[in-house]
Chain A
Amino acid sequence: STIVLVFEAPKDFEFVFNSGDKIRLGERLGSL
Chain B
Amino acid sequence: PSSGVAGYWRSLKWVPIPFSVGFAYICYQQYGHIKKRENRHIRGSQSIEDSLAKEWQVNLYRIVPFRSLSRLWGQVNSVEVPLFLRAPMYGLYARLFNCNLGEALVEDFKQYKNLQEFFMRELKPDVRPVDAHHTLVSPCDGRVLHFGKVEKSKLEQVKGVTYSLKEFLGPRSTIPADAVDGKYEVSDEDYHSSLCQKEGTSLYHCVIYLAPGDYHRFHSPTNWTAHHRRHFPGELLSVNPGIARWVRGLFNYNERVCITGEWQYGFFSLTAVGATNVGSIAFYCDQELCTNLTGKYKPGIYFDKSLKSCHKESIDHDGVVMTKGTGIGTFNLG
- A residues with a Cβ closer than 8 A to B are 1-11, 13, 15, 17-32
The residue that B144 contacts in the complex, of A8, A11, A18, with Cβ under 8 A, is A18
In B202-251, the 8 Å CB interface with A consists of 202-210, 215-216, 218-219, 221, 239, 251
A5-B270, A10-B201 known; A26 vs B130 contact (CB < 8 Å): yes
The answer to whether B195 and A8 have CB atoms under 8 Å apart is yes
Instruction: Give min CB distance, B231 to chain A, whole Å.
Output: 15
Question: Most chain-B Cβ atoms within 10 A of its Cβ — which of A4, A20, A26?
Answer: A4
The answer to whether A1 and B206 have CB atoms under 8 Å apart is no
The answer to whether B269 and A32 have CB atoms under 8 Å apart is no
Complex CA distance for A25 and B207, rounded to whole angstroms: 14
Instruction: Give min CB distance, B73 to chain A, whole Å.
Output: 13
Q: Return the chain A residue nearest B148 by Cβ.
A: A15
Q: Specify which chain A residues have a CB less than 8 angstroms from the CB of B169 in the assembled complex.
A: 6
A2-B275, A15-B206, A19-B145 known; A25 vs B269 contact (CB < 8 Å): no
The answer to whether B129 and A26 have CB atoms under 8 Å apart is yes
The answer to whether B202 and A11 have CB atoms under 8 Å apart is yes
Q: How many residues of B contact A (CB 8 A)?
A: 67
The residue that B210 contacts in the complex, of A3, A9, A26, A32, with Cβ under 8 A, is A3
B253 at the interface (CB under 8 A from A): no
Interface string of B259-295 (1 = CB under 8 A from A): 0000101111111111101100100000000000000
The answer to whether B142 and A3 have CB atoms under 8 Å apart is yes
Complex CA distance for A19 and B143, rounded to whole angstroms: 8
Instruction: Give min CB distance, B196 to chain A, whole Å.
Output: 5
Q: Specify which chain A residues have a CB less than 8 angstroms from the CB of B206 in the assembled complex.
A: 4-5, 15, 29
Q: Return the chain A residue nearest B203 by Cβ.
A: A8
A9-B265, A29-B206 known; A3 vs B131 contact (CB < 8 Å): no
Instruction: Give min CB distance, B219 to chain A, whole Å.
Output: 6
Give 11 A-B pairs besides A17-B144, A28-B136 with Cβ atoms closer than 8 angstroms: A1-B209, A1-B216, A2-B251, A4-B270, A5-B270, A6-B269, A8-B196, A8-B265, A10-B201, A23-B142, A24-B138
Complex CA distance for A11 and B198, rounded to whole angstroms: 11
The residue that A25 contacts in the complex, of B128, B136, B205, with Cβ under 8 A, is B128
A13-B204, A15-B206 known; A7 vs B219 contact (CB < 8 Å): no
The answer to whether A5 and B141 have CB atoms under 8 Å apart is no
The residue that B138 contacts in the complex, of A1, A13, A25, with Cβ under 8 A, is A25
Q: Specify which chain A residues have a CB less than 8 angstroms from the CB of B208 in the assembled complex.
A: 2-5, 23
Q: Return the chain A residue nearest B209 by Cβ.
A: A2
The residue that A9 contacts in the complex, of B123, B133, B165, B201, with Cβ under 8 A, is B201
Complex CA distance for A2 and B331, rounded to whole angstroms: 9
Question: Most chain-A Cβ atoms within 10 A of its Cβ — which of B138, B148, B273, B325?
Answer: B138
The answer to whether A8 and B267 have CB atoms under 8 Å apart is yes
Q: Specify which chain B residues have a CB less than 8 angstroms from the CB of A24 in the assembled complex.
A: 128, 138, 141
Question: Most chain-B Cβ atoms within 10 A of its Cβ — which of A17, A22, A26, A30?
Answer: A26
Q: Specify which chain B residues have a CB less than 8 angstroms from the CB of A20 in the assembled complex.
A: 143-145
Question: Most chain-A Cβ atoms within 10 A of its Cβ — which of B129, B206, B274?
Answer: B206
Q: Specify which chain B residues have a CB less than 8 angstroms from the CB of A23 in the assembled complex.
A: 138, 141-144, 208
The answer to whether A4 and B168 have CB atoms under 8 Å apart is yes
